[in-house]
Amino acid sequence: MLNAKQLDAQSVTFLDGWVDLDSTSWKEVDDNPSFTRRCIKIGMDSNYLVTDNFGRLWGMGENKLYYPFHLEYGSKKFGIRLPKKAAN
């Protein structure tokens, strides 16, 4: 599990907020939830996606920098966070 403060400090992707996977707010901003869920499963199984200590999903980018796994909804970007039950 990675440190959230360090990840936030090195990220070049700025988000408008985080949404919990399977929440109502997630379903409002994701136009294809089943595809997103498959991407998350593939990313987690291959260790490409990791979580920080708040359950937020991050992907490995270039130069070993992480970026928040996110959705774009209009002009806004929302990162995806695992629900607290799943993150524990």
Q: Does residue 68 contact residue 11 with C-beta atoms inside 8 Å?
A: yes
Q: What does the pLDDT read at residue 85?
A: 59
Q: Is residue 27 part of a domain?
A: yes
Q: Compute the radius of gyration of the chain from its Cα atoms.
A: 12
pLDDT at 88 over 80: no
Which residue range(s) make up the domain with 16?
Answer: 4-82
| Total domain count, the chain | 1
Q: Is residue 58 part of a domain?
A: yes
Q: What does the pLDDT read at residue 44?
A: 93
Q: Does residue 66 contact residue 13 with C-beta atoms inside 8 Å?
A: no
Q: Does residue 71 contact residue 81 with C-beta atoms inside 8 Å?
A: no
Q: Is residue 50 part of a domain?
A: yes
For the stretch 17-72, pLDDT in tens is: 999 999 999 999 999 999 999 999 999 999 999 999 999 999 988 888 899 999 99
Q: Is residue 87 part of a domain?
A: no
Q: Is residue 88 part of a domain?
A: no
The amino acid occupying position 12 is V
